[in-house]
Amino acid sequence: MPSPEPFLYNQHFRPSTSVAKGSTTEVREFHCSLPGYARTPLVSLPDAAEAAGVGAVLVKDESSRLGLPAFKMLGASWAVHRALAARDEKAAPPRLVTATDGNHGRAVARMASWLGLQATILVPRGVSEAAIQFIRDEGATVEVLDASYDDTVNEAARVANADPDALLIQDTSWVGYEDVPQWIVDGYATLFDEAAEQAAESGLSIDVLIVPAGVGSLAHAAVAFSRTQPDCRVISVEPTVAACISASLQRGELTTVTTGETSMAGLNCGTPAYLAWPDLRTGLSAATTVDEAQATAALEELSSFGVDSGPCGAASLAALHLIAEEPARTDLRLTPTTTVLLLNTEGFSSAR
Ligand SMILES: Cc1ncc(COP(=O)(O)O)c(C=O)c1O
């Protein structure tokens, strides 16, 4: 497969004609009830705004969320909560199973330890020893496979299917496996809810949202949020070596790509989530891809602004630099008065 274009304007994008009503109260209340809940910071980067020629650049900093260095706990906690509520009360306590490239598995393992449940976490090749150890430290059993992320997800589904007491908590979806991943997407809503609230406290509303994408579940939540705003654009960013959303938008249909190696481990996914795809197809304005050097430079830049960022989180700033140079920037609502929200989805410590 040829290298993806760094920038792809999405021909299938359809701006919403009306503002959808979104209710995130139940999810937000649930998160507020968890130990250590606090809104994550929304940091303004005036220098980055000036460089990009926009009114404001805000970073939603998920480097510390519910005691973990990534946003993932928002989805894992809500999905586990909903999945347990849907189980027969008389059934044995389940064993939580998932595949992960780091952050999601650690969040599922943390939920299991909070609830006194067993967890089995499957990890593909390319995940750092430190990230694996973090999951073990939560008390989970970790199995490291010499396989890609997509194959590891398949194996986790097989392991869970073979055990009547297992509960698969996977952050991607396929035909017939839809409830849990939808709850995960619903759980991510708290992040956008907080960001909109914090922006409003500064008299701002979010016009453009740049979201790091692996399977696209977070981007799916971003698109859902954008439809509750008057005229908000969502742009995805993926590593050049794992640009399945970009490839899917290019072809107009859900497409699997062969993945490579990248420091952006959380984004190293070959297949978009089945549930996310229809909304990504019409809800993303553009897709971007960044390489290692761009992600590293953005990470250093964020660090110089005092933001603790891992490569996945920094990808959103790298994408802003890229889009700022695009002739299509006005179509993407990058104007001197617009507010851009970047998602710093992980801190550096989760990516070591
Ligand atoms: C740090 C980080 N950012 C972004 C993502 C992308 O989320 P999604 O796979 O839902 O697109 C992930 C996924 O694991 C991640 O760990």
- Alpha carbon nearest to ligand 1 atom 13, residue: 266
Could you read off the pLDDT tens digit of each residue along the chain, which spans 352 residues? 668 899 999 999 998 877 877 778 899 999 999 999 999 999 999 999 999 999 999 999 999 999 999 999 999 999 999 999 999 888 999 999 999 999 999 999 999 999 999 999 999 998 999 999 999 999 999 999 999 999 999 999 999 999 999 999 999 999 999 999 999 999 999 999 999 999 999 999 999 999 999 999 999 999 999 999 999 999 999 999 999 999 999 999 999 999 999 999 999 999 999 999 999 999 999 999 999 999 999 999 999 999 999 999 999 999 999 999 999 999 999 999 999 999 999 998 655 4
Give the architecture-level CATH label for domain 7-70+188-351.
3-Layer(aba) Sandwich (3.40)
Model pLDDT, residue 1: 62
- Alpha carbon nearest to ligand 1 atom 15, residue: 266
Give the architecture-level CATH label for domain 73-184.
3-Layer(aba) Sandwich (3.40)
Model pLDDT, residue 349: 66
Domain residue limits, the chain: 7-70+188-351, 73-184
Active-site residues: which are they? 72, 101
Place of tokens 């979010």: 206
Q: How far, in Å, from the CA of 90 to the mean position of ligand 1?
A: 34
Same fold, 7-70+188-351 and 73-184: yes
Q: How far, in Å, from the CA of 259 to the mean position of ligand 1?
A: 15
- Alpha carbon nearest to ligand 1 atom 4, residue: 212
Q: Which helix (H) or strand (E) holds 272?
A: none
Nearest atom of ligand 1 to the alpha carbon of 100: 14
Query: Quick one: residue 239, left, alpha or beta (phi over 0 = left, psi -120 to 50 = alpha)?
Result: beta
Place of tokens 């710093």: 344
Q: Which helix (H) or strand (E) holds 349?
A: none
How many angstroms separate the CA atoms of 13 and 111, rounded?
Answer: 37
Q: How far, in Å, from the CA of 5 to the mean position of ligand 1?
A: 21
How many angstroms separate the CA atoms of 232 and 222, rounded?
Answer: 10
Model pLDDT, residue 57: 98
Model pLDDT, residue 350: 56
Task: Please give all residues whose beta carbon lies within 6 A of any atom in ligand 1, as ranges.
Answer: 70, 72, 101, 103-104, 171, 212-219, 266-267, 269, 312, 345-346
- Alpha carbon nearest to ligand 1 atom 9, residue: 214
Model pLDDT, residue 38: 98
Place of tokens 């993806």: 4
Pocket test for ligand 1, best of 60, 271, 345 (most atoms within 8 A of CB): 345
Model pLDDT, residue 18: 79
pTM: 0.97
Alpha helices (H) along 97-216 = 103-115, 129-137, 149-161, 179-187, 189-201
Of 158, 164, 169, 174, the closest CA to residue 96 belongs to: 169
